Amino acid sequence: MSDVAVPPVVIEAQGLNLTFTTNDGPVHALKDINLSIHKGEFVSFIGPSGCGKTTFLRTIADLEQPTGGTLSVNGMSASEARKARAYGYVFQAAGLYPWRTIEGNVRLPLEIMGFSKADQAERAKRVLELVELSGFEKKFPWQLSGGMQQRASIARALAFDADILLMDEPFGALDEIVRDRLNEELLKLWARTQKTIGFVTHSIPEAVYLSTKIVVMSPRPGRITDIIDSPLPKERPLEIRDSPEFIAIAHRVREGLRAGYEEAGE
Ligand SMILES: Nc1ncnc2c1ncn2[C@@H]1O[C@H](COP(=O)(O)OP(=O)(O)OP(=O)(O)O)[C@@H](O)[C@H]1O
């Protein structure tokens, strides 16, 4: 009998620290972060404002430099991984260029990376299908709803086929019904593409619904207070949110958040 193979580690932080130097003194944005993310996992980072969620994602993306510890992304340094285009990044605001069509926005990183015109067109078509925006290629961003714009920005991040997708509160500005739908769609997209996803959120239900692993963080200094491996099945209808298993995980996340607040003296 052979054990089920554990997928390889794609992101590994060991004793990671990041202290910003500011006029008001040092800000310990990340303190002693130890975390392994395996290929194909969906990992959410949840915690109150200022606990370092965005900083951690930006550090993985080589947009911030750690002041201590080690970080590897796909077995490389963060800087090498950025050069190897190991990840796509989705920001909180869709950030689409208003003067470009949806297809033009999706093709932009491909143009910059020097993909051929034919390859750009084929990739844009495929990723827009993936996020269910076929038929909207020639529209401009302002002609689409907020949810559709965010789907277009996900398509843009998927266009160059990185194995890792980093998403910083992509649905934070959307109303709850739209957010529910996009959560469902994101899970399907994740199942179809088998990407490794790092996802920042403030929402407990969103974190529990989406993730295979939930990383609970707390501020001052920004640190991990709990890591929860979700026992929920991969197939998740929205109704799963009423199940006892779901409610139990949500409860554990809430407790972790509360403990972090109390320790920070809030
Ligand atoms: N460039 C910077 N210079 C100085 N301090 C910074 C910088 N970027 C972030 N910080 C500080 O680092 C801490 C962590 O910030 P970060 O944005 O990562 O938190 P967050 O958990 O993502 O918060 P939010 O949920 O509000 O986005 C905060 O105290 C923030 O003010």
Where are the domain boundaries for CATH 3.40.50.300 in the chain?
Answer: 9-86+164-263
Per DSSP bridges, beta strands 87-90 and 9-22 are unpaired
pLDDT higher than threshold 60 for residue 2 = no
Per DSSP bridges, beta strands 68-73 and 9-22 are antiparallel
- Ligand 1 touching residue 49 (CB < 6 A): yes
Q: Which tokens in the block code for residue 264?
A: 């920070």
Over residues 70-81, the mean pLDDT reads: 94
Assess: ipTM above 0.90: yes
Ligand 1 center to 51 CA (angstroms):
7
> Is 187 buried (19+), middle (13-18) or exposed (0-12) by CB count in 10 A?
buried
Ligand 1 center to 49 CA (angstroms):
8
| Residue-wise DSSP of 196-228 | EEEEEES-HHHHHHH-SEEEEEETTTTEEEEEE
Ligand 1 center to 258 CA (angstroms):
20
Over residues 98-105, the mean pLDDT reads: 95
Q: Which tokens in the block code for residue 78?
A: 């963060």
pLDDT higher than threshold 70 for residue 197 = yes
- Ligand 1 touching residue 51 (CB < 6 A): yes
Average pLDDT across the chain, whole number: 90
Q: Which tokens in the block code for residue 52?
A: 């370092």
Whole-prediction pTM: 0.90
**Which residue's CA is the closest to the ligand 1 atom numbered 25?**
49
Ligand 1 center to 55 CA (angstroms):
6
Reported CATH class of domain 9-86+164-263: alpha beta
Over residues 25-52, the pLDDT tens digits come to 999 999 999 999 999 999 999 998 889 9
Per-residue pLDDT band for 167 (boundaries 50, 70, 90) equals very high
